Amino acid sequence: MTTLREIKDITICESTAELLTKGRADSVSTVFDRADDIKPCPIGAQQACCKHCYMGPCRLSTKAPYEKVGVCGATIDVFQARGFGRAVAAGTAAHSDHGREMAELFLSVAKGENTDYQIRDTKKVYTMAGYLGIATEGREFNDIAVEVGEACLALFSQQHGHIKFLERAPKKTFQRWADLGILPRGVDREVVEMMHRTTMGVDQDYKNIVLGSARCALADGWGGSMVSTGLSDALFGTPSPVTAEVDLGVLDEKRVNIVVNGHEPHVLDMIVRMSEDPAMIAKAKALGAEGINVVGMCCSGNEQLVRRGLNHAGNFVMADAAIITGIVDAIMVDVQCIMMGLSTISKCYHTKFVTTNYRCKVEGAEHVEFNGEHGAMETGKKLVELAIDNYKNRDKAKIKAPSKKEKMVGGFSHEAINYMLGGSFRGSYNPLNENIINGKIRGVVGVVGCNNPRVKHDWVHVELVKELLKNDILVVQTGCSALALAKLGFMQPEAAEKYCGPGLREVCAAVGIPPVLHSGACVDNSRILEAVCEMVAAGGLGNELADLPIAGAAPEYMSEKAIAIGHYFVASGALVAFGVTFPYTPNTKFADYIFNEIENDLGGKWAFEPDPYAMAKLIIDHIDKKREALGINVAKERVLFDMEARRQL
């Protein structure tokens, strides 16, 4: 019989703990319990197993001297590289299939074939046209939008040349990719090629596979993900600072509660809009509810949080806890990070578990197919009605409504950061760079990624961020990680006073921003690429992305998508630190390459460190090394100008 962890060892999130305690009393099994029940396979965890042909599966010893090889003769380094390459391909495919869906939706709207959605940010369309080299002068907006949509869609199946958005990178970074021969052609081509190269009897040079994976990952960050973020901004608005509330306390016992869990912003957008329809509200009221409450969960929720201030219930591992409240009338899911266990747990309560995407059906779930291009409004209504009808089935004996929620400010797209720093007339990254050069801000770190039930929920994210803030490092966030910090108040401007070193505190107070900036969903990590390009362009911090005092971290990751994201940041020149676990065998040539030598090729490198304090230290050391190389490691003395000096300036 498995011994389950005590709740206090599972999570630092009060509302999750409260509901998990109730869940145990209700005898339901959650993702955390299953993590206790199933121990990870030690051979698989170290990627010392290859099952890509049927002469095996081959399992190698994870102890030096690694003399044993697979039936085909492949070494442990090739085993690891193959597994790594396939994870990158899978992550790239996930972001990019989502990006393609956004491109198709955008195109249907631009062509006037789909009136259920509108293009809300026309400026973004012009900006994207500029990046894609599409002429705008003297042309009708709709013609430009159609050409932008078609050009974005074409990036997926492009066979030659390179993905145009890569030209947004600094020239030196672009040249590094060109010299290595890893400029990605089209997204689909790179995914297919990586699957081919890692099949039996093809690429058997671990470095060549890792560099091939970099090409694939770049197609994700600078291709599929960038298309997704850009066109979603065009359709639903580019994020700018907005307030919202987060945590399970956003569920309202008196209203019909709909939780939307997944990654497709158009599904959630439509459900929110339909829930605001007076006829729907009247229907809910007729059944005794005070109204309809739609909240996000994981990443489509993040997208709508940073765009319209939609309240958010929490990160993806909190979906079980949400259902255990007994007041979720429907949980509606689309794609990615949807746990099959939700189907089982929802049956223990009155909650309807509804799948909406043909790619993601779950045994035991009700399926209502949502097609953004055809009948979206009608399906949106049907979904809301389904939740309303289920309100009457609540079991009063099983209800425990949580009250904890926190206020936050989110919506920091790179455009919003530009505006906040420089104002609408002279928006610029110069003030950020100046504060990095004068040492008030030591560096910038993206803390992103998932939660993993094998470690204490949210704890690693929070402790890492605390250490970074204390050391004057500005934190940018996306995905489930962002929600961990938001739930504890780190996304309020007042948090600067409480958690930051003196330099960062001063900058945050002057600009009026929180020290932890929420930029959106996991697919929106491309916004961080955009921001770091702006930093190089603003000047004073080197000539390529690898020169910047920046880093990335995914301290509680669990998804292959995170590996793809991590690798596109490494390939773009950043140090990327992952926690929990990492699919490698220590002291092998593969390990030495990805953690050290790869820096000579790509400018960035990987690090693995499960302890948040040790992770913070290695990140800070890296940032200091970059500051030293830039000659800005010593904080410059402040010079006070008198009036005459100001006039001369």
Using CB under 6 A as the criterion, which residues of the chain lie in contact with ligand MSK when the complex forms? Answer: 263, 298-299, 316, 336-337, 449-450, 479-480, 521-522, 559, 561
- Report whether 603 contacts 573 (CB < 8 A): yes
Give 197 or 567: the residue with its C-beta nearer to ligand MSK.
Answer: 567
DSSP 594: I
Q: Please state the φ and ψ torsions of residue 246, each to the nearest 5 degrees.
A: -130, 160
Looking at the Cβ atoms of 527 and 561, the one nearer to ligand MSK is 561
Q: Return the axis-axis angle of helices 122-132 and 225-236, rounded to nearest 10°.
A: 150
Q: Is the peptide bond before 612 cis (omega within 30 degrees of 0)?
A: no
Integer Cα distance of 445 and 337 in angstroms: 24
527 and 413 Cβ atoms separated by less than 8 Å: yes
d(CA 495, CA 508): 9
Least Cβ distance, residue 105 to ligand MSK (angstroms)? 19
User: What is the nearest approach in angstroms of ligand MSK to the Cβ of residue 399?
Assistant: 27
Q: Pick the closer one to ligand MSK by CB: 225 or 336.
A: 336
- For ligand MSK, give the closer residue by CB, 190 or 264: 264
Smallest gap from Cβ 297 to ligand MSK, in A, equals 9
Alpha carbons 465 and 478: distance in angstroms, whole number: 13
Question: CB of 251 within 8 A of CB of 172?
Answer: no
Looking at the Cβ atoms of 70 and 314, the one nearer to ligand MSK is 314
Minimum CB separation of residue 450 from ligand MSK in Å reads: 3
How far is residue 217's CA from residue 563's CA, in Å, rounded to a whole number? Answer: 9
- DSSP 8-state assignment for residue 167: G
Minimum CB–partner distance for residue 44 and ligand MSK (Å): 20
- Min separation Cβ 136 and ligand MSK, Å: 33
SS3 call for 473:
strand
Nearer to ligand MSK, 94 or 551 (CB): 94
Choice between 173 and 559, CB closer to ligand MSK: 559
Sheet holding 292-297, edge to edge: 292-297, 256-261, 330-333, 352-355, 366-367
Minimum distance of ligand MSK from residue 268's CB (angstroms)? 13
The residue among 298 and 473 lying less far from ligand MSK, judged by its C-beta, is 298
Identity of the residue, 231 or 432, whose beta carbon is nearer to ligand MSK in the bound complex: 231
Cβ of residue 566: shortest distance to ligand MSK, in angstroms?
A: 12
Reported residue count of the chain is 649
Q: How far is the CB of 481 from ligand MSK (least distance, A)?
A: 7
Helical pair 76-110 and 265-275, crossing angle rounded to 10 deg: 40
Least Å from the CB of residue 352 to ligand MSK: 21
Q: Are 571 and 217 in contact (CB under 8 A)?
A: yes
CB of 103 to ligand MSK, least distance (A): 19
Please name the residues in contact with 63: beta carbons below 8 A apart, sequence gap of 6 or more. none
The number of beta carbons lying within 10 Å of the beta carbon of residue 59 is: 16
Q: Which residues contact 142 (CB under 8 A, 6 or more apart)?
A: 110, 112
Q: Closest approach of Cβ 452 to ligand MSK, in Å?
A: 9
Strand-pair partners of 516: 475
Identify which of 347, 350, 370 has the alpha carbon closest to the alpha carbon of residue 300: 370
Tell me if 541 sits within 8 A of 630, measured CB to CB: yes
Q: Tell me how far, at minimum, the Cβ of 314 lies from ligand MSK, in Å.
A: 10
Q: How far is the CB of 321 from ligand MSK (least distance, A)?
A: 15
Q: 164-167 — which CB contacts under 8 Å span 24+ positions?
A: 164/131, 164/132, 164/133, 165/131, 165/132, 165/222, 165/223, 165/226, 165/227, 166/218, 166/222, 167/131
Tokens 């042909």 belong to residue: 53
Our CB check for ligand MSK shows the closer of 95 and 394 to be 95
Least distance to ligand MSK from the beta carbon of 263, Å? 6
Which CB atom, from 165 or from 557, has the smaller least distance to ligand MSK? 557
User: Which residue lies nearer to ligand MSK by CB, 458 or 472?
Assistant: 458
Shortest Å distance, C-beta 483 to ligand MSK: 8
CA-based nearest residue to 89, from 568, 580, 594: 568
Can you read off the two tokens belonging to residue 522?
């996991």
Helix (H, G, I), strand (E, B) or coil at 257: strand
47: left (phi over 0), alpha (psi -120 to 50) or beta: left
Q: Alpha-carbon distance 218 to 181, whole Å?
A: 12
* Between 311 and 585, CB nearer to ligand MSK: 311
- Please tell me the distance from the alpha carbon of residue 392 to that of residue 20, in angstroms, as a whole number: 24
- Closer to ligand MSK at the Cβ: 479 or 549? 479
One-letter amino acid at 80 equals: Q
Q: Which is nearer to ligand MSK, 149 or 520 (CB)?
A: 520
Asked whether the CA dihedral 163, 167, 171, 173 is positive or negative, the reply is negative
Q: Is the CB of 241 or the CB of 449 nearer to ligand MSK?
A: 449
Q: Which of 387, 409, 23 is nearest to 246 (CA)?
A: 409
